[in-house]
Amino acid sequence: MTELVTPRPPLGCAAVMGGLFRAALQEHHLPVTHQREAVARILFESGRHLSADEVSDRLSLINENVGKATVYRTLRLLVRVGLATEHDFDEGFKRYETRVGPAHHDHMICTACGAVVEFHRDELDRVQTEVAGATGFRVLTRQLKLYGLCADCDAGSGQALRQVI
């Protein structure tokens, strides 16, 4: 159930925090607070899909005491201003990921071990545009998740199905 995504390089984290982050908030007339910077930095530095809890834990580790409510509020905020994306990998909670630029990618999730692999296909952007045109929607973003078994888990499958209470 742990995160098995290959960590991306920091992606110019310093630059983002120095400029893009402040700019995005100011553009929406939102105050730049110490807590918001801290939460954003954690997310940008990790380059992974973090849950609110994980963000909170990592903040504690560096003695940044940010209330959990603020963590939730800030993550929601980052999504709204377009700096982060929310994901639901069916774990019972949400995960958040930074979103820098329009380079969209999608996810493949192993339903057995929880491994998450990112991938990108150009065709998907085209499909998105076509469907939008056909239905009159203005598509802002997409979430494509392929569920299945990773190579490792595919080997040892075939257990009995029971309701398990």
Interface residues toward a copy of itself, by CB under 8 A:
28-30, 73, 77, 80-81, 86, 88, 90, 108, 110-111, 117, 119, 121, 123-124, 127-128, 130-132, 134-151, 154, 160-163
Q: Binds 32, which of a copy of itself, DNA, none (CB < 5 to 8 A, cut-off by type)?
A: DNA
Say if residues 6 and 116 touch (Cβ distance below 8 Å).
no
Q: Which C-beta is closer to a copy of itself: that of 57 or that of 125?
A: 125
Q: How far is CA 55 from the centre of its chain?
A: 12
From the list 22, 6, 12, 145, the residue with the least C-alpha distance to 85 is 145
Helix (H, G, I), strand (E, B) or coil at 117: strand
Q: Which C-beta is closer to DNA: that of 78 or that of 110?
A: 78
Q: Binds 139, which of DNA, a copy of itself, none (CB < 5 to 8 A, cut-off by type)?
A: a copy of itself
Residue of the chain from 31, 102, 136, 156 that contacts DNA (CB under 7 A): 31
Residue 81 tokens, joined: 């201003």
Residue of the chain from 4, 15, 30, 139 that contacts DNA (CB under 7 A): 30
Site map (CB under 7 A) of DNA, residues 37-76, x = contact: --------------xxx-----------xxxxxx-xxx-x
Q: For residue 61, give the amino acid letter.
A: L
d(C-alpha 139, C-alpha 75), whole Å: 22
Say if residues 95 and 79 touch (Cβ distance below 8 Å).
no
d(C-alpha 110, C-alpha 40), whole Å: 28
Which residues sit at the interface with DNA, rule CB under 7 A?
26, 30-36, 51-53, 65-70, 72-74, 76, 92-94, 162-163, 165
